[in-house]
A and B are shown apart, each in its own frame.
Chain A
């Protein structure tokens, strides 16, 4: 093809060339339009990448069945999201899929509240919230506090060869598309409620492409030569949930155990049932905490906006706090603790008499079953910070996010001023935060009162208001304080202090309740005690 160099050169194009050019231009335009309409302006992060931050949810029926399906009881009909409509199973696998479908009521892993795996979590009918930094994309799901921490820093996993439910995710940007490779998922998850499945060899490559400020295309390519005849692809639209200002909680296993009586209400601490009166008394002792501020460091890491940078992976230096917040010696398998209480000065929790009695009772073996973390439920506030297990702190414009290795998260908005309505109660509460100079202050209310403060049963109720303060000391340490004001349980507010140490580590996964043999042992101990009590009567 000759190109005109100036207006004096006569165009000498043949018709065939004109057609070819037209076809090329047409194809290029179509390809561009598919990726992103020309006129659309995407929200962008500081590094120029599309800013995926926000609340999203699938707009498809893929969660029920990836393929074309008619409606069934509890399953609305839907069209296939699979490219080419049909999943290319090997013959044995096609037979297994049919078997799975027949047994789906009891065999679906998500029906048992097991982590859904990737890609299934992405198109379940619960919203999720994305947080994006220069080095991570974190996706926090309303469903059972599951999260994915996708590293976009180009580094390989620190610990290789570990199998998990949600796999290890590493991402990078290809133009305006976030591409994520997910490896190391176990063979226990399904793709949907219809029994579509994979093996432990599966590799998933996801592509997240924003099409407008409120629309994103999610694509996942599945490679698994053990189960399929070739790689295959799904594509679903994600919609920004413009009507939502936050995601809430759906703690699958807890809902189930409460419904079937395996996890029982504690009337004195849980938020009252709908229709019951909520009575919160006043403190009988000191109303205000009596504690001087901790010191922040002078040589801190800082964010672009000048606020301290406390991003990172942390381990609490909390000793045996998960076995009692007050100072105690080692007893059998219960580790000692130096005591974390800095106010009151005697280091003792200012219990009301009934609550001290309850604490003593909870430490007895027959009550071990009642600790919510034995059921793998969230640790709550402030327990998540001394559980003992590591956590990751992320900072994005407007938010601080805590990701706890024991699969739970907390989102702290920095620009919100009011809490949820009083009747909305959550395992992790409702947190709002702000910076006071170099100190991050987080206030949490709306707790459900179902959590224990540790394994021996230090008591906290729905009435608790928790104020946490994060004092950055240097690049590798933050002093953490939590002041708990709970007039149902205590006579006055109290405060604990824990150094949090930053380490060059990465979070792994804790999937807790599959085959939870410990819980069965604890239940046996409780049931035996109850049987004896009954006999004695």
Chain B
């Protein structure tokens, strides 16, 4: 499975309400008033359920901070065509999301954008839409 195929299923996955895989209130955990745009290098990915985590080193004012970015769970990602090897350490990515209310370098993200413009849908509950 390559990134291109995963990006291709983005549209379908976004329409499938059942692909949402939250087990707790994201609205309670993340702050609508703290949108973040992060540009950095992937250091690790935690391949876990019900949510996965991508860790990205982000440089701000000369300081590097490792951010934890929450994604859909592994089962949802696998069914969308992801493989564990899709995001090797060192990959440069841009992500948009919302920071956690507790102020830690943690964010909820929907889409990862690669340097060449390709996008990978990683979203959790926020992409779920009503099906009727």
Q: Does B130 lie within 8 Å of A338, measured CB to CB?
A: yes
In the assembled complex, A336 has its CB within 8 A of some CB on chain B: yes
Provide the bound-state CA to CA distance between A59 and B84, in Å.
Answer: 41
Q: Does B27 lie within 8 Å of A510, measured CB to CB?
A: no
B residues 23-58 in Cβ contact with A at 8 Å: 23-30, 32, 47-51, 53
In the assembled complex, A79 has its CB within 8 A of some CB on chain B: no
Q: Does A510 lie within 8 Å of B130, measured CB to CB?
A: no
Provide the bound-state CA to CA distance between A521 and B28, in Å.
Answer: 9
B47 to chain A, nearest CB (A): 7
Provide the bound-state CA to CA distance between A407 and B29, in Å.
Answer: 23
Q: Does B20 lie within 8 Å of A388, measured CB to CB?
A: yes
Contact of A320 among B17, B28, B29 (CB under 8 A): B17
Known: A315-B18, A389-B21. A334 touches B125 (CB 8 A): yes
B96 to chain A, nearest CB (A): 13
Q: Which residue of B lies closest to A520 (CB)?
A: B102
* Chain B residues positioned under 8 Å from A335 (CB to CB): 17, 20, 125-130
Interface hit among A289-297, A350-358, A363-371, A441-449? A363-371
On chain B, the number of residues with a Cβ less than 8 Å from chain A's Cβ atoms is 45
Q: Does A521 lie within 8 Å of B101, measured CB to CB?
A: yes
0 or 1 for each of A180-193: is its CB under 8 Å from B? (1 = yes): 00000000000000
Main secondary structure of the interface of A (DSSP, over half): loop
A residues 330-377 in Cβ contact with B at 8 Å: 330-338, 363-369, 371, 373-374, 376
- Residue contacts A-B, CB under 8 angstroms, 17 given: A162-B74, A317-B17, A333-B27, A334-B25, A334-B125, A335-B20, A336-B129, A338-B130, A364-B28, A368-B28, A374-B23, A374-B25, A455-B22, A508-B49, A518-B70, A521-B102, A524-B101
0 or 1 for each of B45-86: is its CB under 8 Å from A? (1 = yes): 001111101000000000000001010011100110001100
Interface size grouping (class) on chain A = 35 or more
Provide the bound-state CA to CA distance between A371 and B73, in Å.
Answer: 19
Q: Which residue of B lies closest to A336 (CB)?
A: B130
Known: A388-B21, A406-B23. A368 touches B78 (CB 8 A): no
Q: Does A512 lie within 8 Å of B23, measured CB to CB?
A: yes
Known: A163-B47, A388-B128. A368 touches B17 (CB 8 A): no
Contact surface of B with A, Cβ cutoff 8 Å: 17-18, 20-30, 32, 47-51, 53, 68, 70, 73-75, 78-79, 83-84, 98, 100-102, 104, 106, 108, 124-132
Contact of A524 among B25, B98, B102, B126 (CB under 8 A): B102
Q: Does B27 lie within 8 Å of A332, measured CB to CB?
A: yes
Q: Which residue of B lies closest to A163 (CB)?
A: B47
0 or 1 for each of A294-334: is its CB under 8 Å from B? (1 = yes): 00000000000000000000011111101100000011111
Number of A-B contacts (CB under 8 A): 148
Q: Does A333 lie within 8 Å of B78, measured CB to CB?
A: no
B40 to chain A, nearest CB (A): 19
In the assembled complex, A135 has its CB within 8 A of some CB on chain B: no
Contact of A510 among B75, B79, B132 (CB under 8 A): B75
* Chain B residues positioned under 8 Å from A515 (CB to CB): 48
Chain A to chain B: the 9 pairs with minimum beta-carbon distance, closest first: A368-B28, A374-B24, A335-B128, A333-B26, A524-B102, A319-B130, A365-B28, A368-B25, A510-B49
Provide the bound-state CA to CA distance between A256 and B64, in Å.
Answer: 38
Q: Does A316 lie within 8 Å of B18, measured CB to CB?
A: yes
A421 to chain B, nearest CB (A): 32
Contact of B24 among A163, A317, A371, A524 (CB under 8 A): A371
In the assembled complex, A474 has its CB within 8 A of some CB on chain B: no
Known: A162-B74, A388-B128. A406 touches B50 (CB 8 A): yes
Provide the bound-state CA to CA distance between A48 and B27, in Å.
Answer: 54
B7 to chain A, nearest CB (A): 19
In the assembled complex, A390 has its CB within 8 A of some CB on chain B: yes
* Chain A residues positioned under 8 Å from B102 (CB to CB): 521, 524-525, 528
